[in-house]
Structures are given as structure tokens and as C-alpha cells.
Amino acid sequence: MTLHERAVPPMNADERTTLESWLDFHRSTLAGKCAGVDDAGARRPSAEPSPITLIGLVQHLTEVERTWFRRVLRGAVLPTVLGEPYDPTLPSGGFEVPEGATLAGTLAVWQEETAASRAACADAALETTGDFGGTPVSLRWIYVHLIEEYARHNGHADLVRERIDGATGV
């Protein structure tokens, strides 16, 4: 995948377009890191002792999307992406890869969740707030946080992908 295959965010746009474009850019980067990887590779950890895998990263970012856009911004009560009751006190963050999980299936759930995220904030102003443990948090802050979250984990995905088959870039 080359830079041409991702929509480069506009360099002179309004705030919302800029935020949404950068988030979509990073979502596209994650998809690119997963392209062409088989299930065995997607389960391969980056390097000992880290358990991080591509499937685990996609699951985690699915959970991040679900938490910030639907739980926090919209107040929805939802299970984790793994179908278990949501428990914010657990440190796992969705990185554990369940038996039988596939990269294609995990990506499909992530794509459904990103669509739900877009829908959850489509009619909300950047100043709209949700509740994060009793603290109001704006949609603007959520967008910035998600951009940061994806950027950090795309760096992890880059290392994992390089270990799988030597592919770098994107």
C-alpha cells in the first residue's frame, strides 16, 4: 500500500473536516497494515515479551471506537467487542486474541464499529459532551484522542507487520 491509496487529509479545511479526515487517514493506515496478512501472521506477536498482534490491535481499536463514540459520547450500554460484559476496570483493552478469531472477522467487526462511530457523532457539534466517569468530555477532545490512539497503535502495527513479512511503510 502506498500513500496514494489513502486519502490525504486536506491541508486547509474547517476544524471538523480536519479532525474527521485525520481519523479516517489513521483508520485507513490500520487497514493497510493488515492487508495481505494471513491469520497465522495476524496472530504472530511483535517481539517477546510483547503479546501485541495485528488481530489484538484491531480488536483494541474497535473497543476504543465503541467506548469513546458510543459509550462516552452517547451513553450507550454495550458489551465489549468480544461479546463479554464491559468492565472498564480490566486492563486488557481487547488485545487478547480469542481462539478461532480471524483477521477478516476481526476487521469486519472493526468496520461495523467505525460505521457506528460515524453515525454516533454525525449530528453532534464538536462542543457536544459525553460523560467519562463524571467528567464532561467534548466530541472535539474525543476526535483528538482517537487520532492519537490510532497513530500510536499504527506504529505498533508497523513493527508487527515488519516482523511478519518485512513490509514497512504506509
Residue by residue, pLDDT tens for the chain (170 residues) are 343 378 899 999 999 999 999 999 999 999 999 999 999 999 998 887 888 999 999 999 999 999 999 999 999 999 887 777 766 666 666 788 888 999 999 999 999 999 999 999 999 999 999 999 999 999 999 999 999 999 999 999 999 999 999 887 76
**Within-domain flag for 40:** yes
3-state secondary structure of 88: coil
**Within-domain flag for 78:** yes
**Within-domain flag for 7:** no
What's the structural domain count of the chain? 1
Q: Is 104 buried (19+), middle (13-18) or exposed (0-12) by CB count in 10 A?
A: exposed
In angstroms and rounded to an integer, the radius of gyration of the C-alpha atoms of the chain is 16
Provide the residue range defining the domain that includes 161: 18-165
**Within-domain flag for 99:** yes
pTM as predicted: 0.92
CB neighbours of 164 closer than 8 A, spacing ≥ 6? 37, 41, 42, 44, 54
**Within-domain flag for 4:** no
Distance of alpha carbon 24 from alpha carbon 70, whole angstroms? 17
In the chain, the N- to C-terminal Cα span, in Å, equals 6
